[in-house]
Amino acid sequence: MKLLNPSVRGSSAVLAGALLLGSLTACGGSSNQAAAEADTSMLTLAIDSDSGSFGYDPLRVSAAQRQFFEGLYESLMTLQPDGSAGPGLAEEFSYNADNTVMTLTLRDDVTFTDGSKLDAELVKANLDRRSDPALSAYSAVAKGGAQEITSVDVVSPTEVALTFAKPQPGFENNLTSTTGMIVGKDGVTDTASLAATPDGSGPYTLDPTTVKGSKYVFVKNEESSEASDFAFDKVVFSVVLDPQARANALVSGQADVAMLTSSTVDFAESKGSGVSQIGGTVNTMISFDKIGKTAPAFAEEKVRQAIQHAINRQALVDALHKGDIPAWNALPKDSAGFTEDLETEFAYDPEKAKSLLAEAGYPDGFEFTIIASAQTQTDLQAVQKDLAAVGITMNVKMAASTDEAFAAVATTPLGYSPLNWDNPVGVMYGVVLNGFTNVQKATDEELSAATAELAAAKDDAAAKTAATKLNTRLVESGWMIPLYEALVNQGYNTKKVAPVEFAGTNAYPLLSSYKPAS
């Protein structure tokens, strides 16, 4: 579901100054965007993080940086506007009978910025870097990964075969993101060079006017046959970390498109900017420990249910995430498995939480520790207050290192993370049932059965039934304690840019999807 341009949203505190000056500015003139003319010479995108902080090796970043890197690199498969996988550097693909080998047929007209040509050897050289632990894009296909590739073999100069450790139907979807991006020969040979110099075959090349960490300037790569699909001659990624500053950049005309936080959406809209929105990411507390190894109380399902009832999600959203959606469902609102029943069944009810705790044998509550990061600390402090009200003492400890944050899955009973449910079966098998959120190896027959049912669903009705079962059980079991669904917001200058479209449910629009306003 796309929530395009909602006309009515809750009132939002945009910024202290704006509120204080509201009366002064109420008679302000029309949007200054009117002065901007629609043209295709340059598109400026204000982004919320430094996509090039690790340099220009697309394999060092995850799918979240796809939009930035798809300007410089092409992928083996290409994400289509409807969210499906289409031809990219590979014109076509096929699987063997048991889906353990995927053979890709490559284009023969691709040239990289170093002058090298695409061939099967180059693809092999790229994918053979998968044992390098620094390459985040390859973490799932590396040895021991959920989608391990055991070997990459050159079949012919234009054909390459990927052999998987276990059947991988639908693997082509992985090749639409950074995992499928191919680096030229010089970049693969001397990977250190990618720190400063990209080596791709993408529609743009990096312009020397780039200021690392501040603005990345891409100019059209006339060598690329894909370049004509991209409307703008020049694309500038402007790194603006502060959310209000991004909104200011948009409404003052410095940026044509800006990633907005939900709290600045009203402000941008009030100044005449367009806003496209998409959901799909649920910020969720995840029970790492369902067997009571790190905190005995967490072995009790009723205790986990008590936590569901103890949290005032509406208050959390009102106070800290204005514009986002309080979530009682593990799956997002646009998922087939979403059900409003959970909103009433697990509504905020501290008394019920207390009685569930008593039934579970913890009438006086219990104590545990959760590891926080700078991003999650405030949310966790709000939850901490709610839990304290029912007798549960949750100590919030800031992670002293990345190692400690990662180790928390084994050392603490509860975690907190955004979860994107674009592919529920993948998340269940790769993260929840067998993945890093279940290092204690807990089992739940209902969850396993619902996941298998969803994976095997032959039509939409069957998928909806299975997804609803899965969603309901995830919440009932307390394996997932959802808090709110975050909306991804793309603000745009309506005079210059056509309404922004998302590729299916992917939170990051395709770079090629930005078109000039007609």
Does 272 bind other proteins (CB under 8 A)? Our answer is no
Instruction: Please pick, from the candidates 7, 23, 344, 402, the single residue that binds other proteins as defined by CB under 8 A.
Output: 402
Q: How far is the CB of 8 from other proteins (least distance, A)?
A: 23
CB 420 within 8 A of CB 507: yes
Q: Is 394 helix (H, G, I), strand (E, B) or coil?
A: strand
Query: Which token pair is 437?
Result: 């959120």
CA atoms within 13 A of residue 352's CA, in its CB half-sphere: 16
Site string for other proteins, 194-223 (x = CB under 8 A): -xx------------x-xxxxx--------
By CB atoms closer than 10 A (0-12, 13-18, 19+), residue 333 is: middle
Of 111 and 254, nearer to other proteins (C-beta) is 254
Does 139 bind other proteins (CB under 8 A)? Our answer is yes
How many whole angstroms separate alpha carbon 390 and alpha carbon 252? 47
Q: Where are the alpha helices (DSSP H) in 13-119?
A: 16-20, 22-25, 66-69
Among 110, 145, 111, which residue's Cα sits nearest to residue 131?
145
Of 257 and 306, nearer to other proteins (C-beta) is 257
How many whole angstroms separate alpha carbon 110 and alpha carbon 171? 23
Contacts of 441 (CB under 8 A, 6+ apart): 291
Of 2 and 143, nearer to other proteins (C-beta) is 143
Does 50 bind other proteins (CB under 8 A)? Our answer is yes
By CB atoms closer than 10 A (0-12, 13-18, 19+), residue 134 is: exposed
Does 92 bind other proteins (CB under 8 A)? Our answer is no
Instruction: Please pick, from the candidates 4, 42, 55, 129, the single residue that binds other proteins as defined by CB under 8 A.
Output: 55
Stretch that binds other proteins, among 4-12, 243-251, 283-291, 494-502 (CB under 8 A): 243-251
SS (H, E, C) 323-389: CCEECCCCCCCCCCCCCCHHHHHCCCCHHHHHHHHHHCCCCCCCEEEEEECCCCHHHHHHHHHHHHH
Scored b (16 or more CB within 10 A) or e, 480-497 reads: bbbbbbbbbbbbbbbbbb
Instruction: Please pick, from the candidates 18, 38, 315, 457, the single residue that binds other proteins as defined by CB under 8 A.
Output: 18
How many whole angstroms separate alpha carbon 59 and alpha carbon 43? 25
108 backbone dihedrals φ, ψ, rounded to 5°: -115, 15
Instruction: Please pick, from the candidates 38, 231, 245, 396, the single residue that binds other proteins as defined by CB under 8 A.
Output: 245
Does 271 bind other proteins (CB under 8 A)? Our answer is yes
Q: How far is the CB of 414 from other proteins (least distance, A)?
A: 19
Does 400 bind other proteins (CB under 8 A)? Our answer is yes
How many whole angstroms separate alpha carbon 330 and alpha carbon 467? 11
Stretch that binds other proteins, among 223-231, 252-260, 425-433, 489-497 (CB under 8 A): 252-260
Give the number of residues in contact with other proteins, rule: CB under 8 A. 53
Site string for other proteins, 303-342 (x = CB under 8 A): ----------------------------------------
Instruction: Please pick, from the candidates 46, 175, 331, 392, the single residue that binds other proteins as defined by CB under 8 A.
Output: 46
Of 406 and 456, nearer to other proteins (C-beta) is 406
Q: How far is the CB of 412 from other proteins (least distance, A)?
A: 16
CB 179 within 8 A of CB 137: yes
Site string for other proteins, 118-137 (x = CB under 8 A): ---------------xx-x-
Q: How many CB atoms lie within 10 A of CB 331?
A: 28
Does 363 bind other proteins (CB under 8 A)? Our answer is no
Does 161 bind other proteins (CB under 8 A)? Our answer is no
Stretch that binds other proteins, among 87-95, 151-159, 190-198, 305-313 (CB under 8 A): 190-198
CB 207 within 8 A of CB 218: yes
Site string for other proteins, 405-424 (x = CB under 8 A): xx------------------
| DSSP symbol at 229 | G
Of 238 and 489, nearer to other proteins (C-beta) is 238
Does 108 bind other proteins (CB under 8 A)? Our answer is no
Does 401 bind other proteins (CB under 8 A)? Our answer is yes
Q: Which residues bind other proteins (CB under 8 A)?
A: 15-18, 20-21, 25, 28, 32, 35, 46, 50, 52-55, 133-134, 136, 139, 192, 195-196, 209, 211-215, 238-242, 244-246, 248-249, 251-255, 271, 374, 400-406
